Amino acid sequence: SQQGEEDPQALSIQEGENATMNCSYKTSINNLQWYRQNSGRGLVHLILIRSNEREKHSGRLRVTLDTSKKSSSLLITASRAADTASYFCATDEAGYSTLTFGKGTMLLVSP
Amino acid sequence: GAVVSQHPSRVICKSGTSVKIECRSLDFQATTMFWYRQFPKKSLMLMATSNEGSKATYEQGVEKDKFLINHASLTLSTLTVTSAHPEDSSFYICSASPMGLAGGGELFFGEGSRLTVL
């Protein structure tokens, strides 16, 4: 069953702008991960944030987690055309050993 | 990072035939592998968890006899779509985690297999 819901479904921005994607989930989690998928390809792991963390950075990526609201956000700063892809959040529900993916946000960065 | 190889990347078959997709972990051993299905512009749907040396665990609504999973070694899992029909056309992706998901490990994905059933 679907756990995460990303928002927006699609986002179109210009190079240099920041892109913010949000993810909401329904149950308690151990951690939340963000993945990227180029069209027709497999997924690539971007960043993981644990349930006891509130914010994490990795290069141009910034992830926040609010467990009280069951939501997370992914911020890509100074976006580039190469950032064009679909972005998915994934959660591992407490007690389960699988990842459940959200519906994804399609990001288009125009030069 | 770890590498997961998936083959074939594209396959076209006639209705009624069976298709086998292979998923290999190239530089780590995977006692567990995950098979996902993805419809166009949609999210990934977990089909089953493949367990080395034992039966796969299928998600609710996934037909075991339709989607046969075999995990014969620590580096190879196969998904066979039996008696394929046009509605089985989809993008199938396998993944595995060297550290295991329980400890907060990440998934490494194959490049996916695009199945088209005519």
pLDDT given at position A4: 66
Residue A94 has pLDDT above 80, yes or no: no
pLDDT for residue A48: 93
Chosen from A98, A100, A107, A108 to mutate, greatest number of chain B CBs within 10 A: A98
Q: What is the distance between the terminal CA atoms of chain B, rounded to a whole angstrom?
A: 37
A101:B44 CB<8 A: yes
Q: Confidence class of residue A99 from pLDDT cuts 50, 70 and 90? A: confident
Of all residues in chain B, the percent with pLDDT exceeding 70 is 99
pLDDT beyond 60 at B89: yes
A41 shares contact with chain B (CB less than 8 Å):
yes
Q: What are the structural domain ranges in chain A?
A: 5-110
Query: What local confidence, expressed as pLDDT, does residue A75 receive?
Result: 98
Q: Could you write out the DSSP letters of every residue in B12-77?
A: EE-TT--EEEEEEESSS--SEEEEEEE-TT--EEEEEEEETTSPPEEPTT--TTTEEEEEEETTEE
* A43/B93 CB distance under 8 A: yes
For B9, name the nearest residue in chain A, comparing CA atoms only: A41
Numbered residues of chain B with Cβ closer than 8 Å to any chain A Cβ: 1, 4, 6, 32, 34, 36, 41-44, 46, 49, 91, 93, 95, 100-102, 104, 106-112, 114
Contact B29, B75 (CB under 8 A): yes
State whether the Cα torsion B4-B5-B11-B13 is positive or negative: negative
Judged by a CB distance cut-off of 8 A, whether residue A102 touches chain B is: yes
Contact B101 A42 (CB under 8 A): no
A2 in B contact zone (CB under 8 Å): yes
Question: Mean pLDDT for chain B?
Answer: 93
Q: What was the pLDDT predicted at A55? A: 98
Q: Give residue-wise pLDDT tens across range B1-33.
A: 789 999 999 999 999 999 999 999 999 999 999
Residues in chain B within 8 Å Cβ distance of A40: 91, 112, 114
Cβ <8 Å between B93 and A97: no
* Predicted confidence (pLDDT) per residue in B29-66, tens digit: 999 999 999 988 788 999 999 999 889 999 999 999 99
Average pLDDT over residues B104-117: 92
Subunit contact B106:A48, Cβ cutoff 8 A: yes
In chain A, what residues touch B90 (CB-CB under 8 Å)? none
Instruction: Tokens for B92, please give them.
Output: 């199938």
Of the pLDDT bands very low, low, confident and very high (cuts 50, 70, 90), residue B92 is very high
Percentage of chain A lying above the pLDDT 70 cut? 94
Residue A1: predicted pLDDT? 44
Residue A2 scores a pLDDT above 60:
no
Kindly give, in sequence order, each residue whose CB lies less than 8 Å from that of residue A31, ignoring residues fewer than 6 positions away.
A48, A49, A50, A51, A91, A92, B104
Model pLDDT, residue A52:
93
Mean pLDDT of A35-63: 95
Q: Name the residue among B101, B104, B112 with its Cβ closest to that of A98.
A: B101
CATH code assigned to A5-110: 2.60.40.10
